[in-house]
Amino acid sequence: MPKFISLTSDFGVQTQGVGIMEGTALSIAPDANVVHLMHGLPEFDVVAAARTMETVRYLPVGSHVCVCDPGVGTTRRALICHVGRGDYLIGPDNGVLLPATRVLGGIVAVHELTNPAYMRQPVSPIFHGRDIFTPAAAHVANGVPIADFGPAVDPDALVSAPYDEAEVVGTALNGRIIQINRYGSLHLNITHEQWDDRKLTEGDTISLELVGHEPLRLPVCRTFGDVPEGECLILKDDYGRVEVAKNLGSFAQQYPVKIGDSAVVRPASAD
């Protein structure tokens, strides 16, 4: 199987750390295909990092590194997670990997990265992306068994994910905002599967309850252009969640909200 490694961080594309991590991977696995998924994560934002890591489902099976690590150099654990699809997720034990495990077939095994034989030496206390995470991704791509990296970790003992899935309560989906994108659209923690289970289809109308605003009635649409310019809508996003948007405008500018706010969706007929 071809070796595939993806790298995600909050370093910013203008920093040398991005290229250094790629070089580290290639020095260990020179025949690997290394892809930079995202290096523009908001600094220290584990919610955005977790949301981005969900999207590795659209990449080839491989080793996927996430470096959004406010606790670098502290007692927080460094992890490698094997998931049902066959991938390995590598990063800090701060919840950033867990949403991705849900969409990649669940956790098969988790081990702590403690074996110095698979680290770049000396290990910097502030650059685990170069010295611990990326080397682990390259070594596992080369066929090193996950158990060789360090002791097994009980998945129930991991730091919780920064967000859960939406809760189904009667006809309502009790969700939260997990992303506000550059266009001002809201991405909710409602999955496509949860949406489909509600039997909501194009042309339906839903009620959306947001913190600090009166309930809004929004049409269920397939794409943004299904409503006139300046009108708001709700639709499936392109990464497995549900999105609230304004056609050719910013929903978040019109209805100010923040990450983590509740967002309750219910059929308008149930109001």
Q: Of 114, 130, 157, which marks where a domain is finished?
A: 157
15 and 119 both lie in a single domain: yes
pLDDT of the residue at 1: 60
Q: For tokens 């791509």, what's the residue?
A: 141
95 and 20 both lie in a single domain: yes
Q: Of 127, 157, 187, which marks where a domain is finished?
A: 157
250 and 152 both lie in a single domain: no
pLDDT digits (tens, 9 = 90+) for 87-124: 999 999 999 999 999 999 999 999 999 999 999 999 99
pLDDT digits (tens, 9 = 90+) for 213-237: 999 999 999 999 999 999 999 999 9
Enumerate residues 6+ apart whose C-beta is below 8 A from 214: none
25 and 93 both lie in a single domain: yes
Q: Of 108, 138, 157, which marks where a domain is finished?
A: 157
Instruction: Establish if 162 belongs to a structural domain.
Output: no
202 and 148 both lie in a single domain: no
pLDDT of the residue at 200: 87
148 and 107 both lie in a single domain: yes
What is the SS3 assignment for 9? strand
186 and 99 both lie in a single domain: no
Q: What is the CATH number of the domain that holds 222?
A: 2.40.30.90
176 and 109 both lie in a single domain: no
Closest CA to 152 of 120, 107, 96, 116: 107
Check if the beta carbon of residue 6 is closer than 8 Å to that of residue 37: yes
23 and 129 both lie in a single domain: yes
Q: What is the CATH number of the domain that holds 75?
A: 3.40.50.10790
Q: What radius of gyration, in Å, describes the C-alpha atoms of the chain?
A: 20
Instruction: Establish if 259 belongs to a structural domain.
Output: yes
Count of the separate structural domains present in the chain: 2
pTM for the full predicted model:
0.94
Counting as low any pLDDT under 70, the low residues of the chain are 1, 270-271
Q: Give the DSSP per-residue string, 152-180.
A: B--GGGSPPPSS-PPEEETTEEEEEEEEE
pLDDT of the residue at 2: 76
Q: Residue 73 belongs to what domain range?
A: 4-157
123 and 151 both lie in a single domain: yes
88 and 14 both lie in a single domain: yes
56 and 181 both lie in a single domain: no
